[in-house]
Amino acid sequence: MSAAAAVLSTAAIILTTPGIAGAAATAEVVPGRARVKVTVHGVPVHPESCRVDPDADGNTQSLPLEPSGTMLAHNVAPGPRRVLVWCPDGGIIYQNIVHVLPADPVADAIDMVFRTAGSSDRVTDPTLR
């Protein structure tokens, strides 16, 4: 095998190996009590350039993510909601129905006590973990 063929072979392996080649952006969406938590992974630019619409079929919004790549949308109506996540370099990276639970201020207060005490494993709303 010639040196040129070896270089091309190595380049082909590198470009097709997951994690080395440019991975597509993905979003993790977690519904909770009147909230939706969105985390974006694999965004090649600044995550805050991505936008989230937590209720694309109802109260349409365009909310930016935090620089950390995570955001928490509050006051989302309970029931099935179509969530869209859009990033400039990837277009729509998430579009799915999630089931948002009704608000429960008492449960939220209890969850906050657990979080403050360092017992986040006991928090009942997954958007607050």
pLDDT in tens, 52-101: 999 999 888 999 999 999 999 999 999 999 999 999 878 999 999 999 99
CA 106 to chain centre: 27
The chain-wide mean pLDDT, for the chain, equals 85
pLDDT at 32 > cutoff 50? yes
Question: pTM of the full predicted structure?
Answer: 0.79
Residue 71: the pLDDT is: 96
3-state class (DSSP) for residue 111: helix
Report the candidate in 118, 34, 106, 35 with the shortest Cα–Cα distance to residue 70. Answer: 35
* Residue 98 backbone dihedrals phi, psi, to 5 degrees: -120, 160
Residue 8's pLDDT band, with cuts at 50, 70 and 90, is very low
The residue among 107 and 88 whose pLDDT is bigger is 107
Eight-state DSSP code of residue 4: H
- CA distance linking residue 22 with residue 16, whole number of Å: 9
DSSP per position, 21-55: S-PPPEEEEEE-BSEEEEEEE--SS-GGG-EEETT
Share of the chain above pLDDT 70, in %: 83
C-alpha 70/C-alpha 57 separation (Å) is 22
pLDDT of the residue at 22: 57
Q: How many CB atoms within 10 Å of residue 7?
A: 10
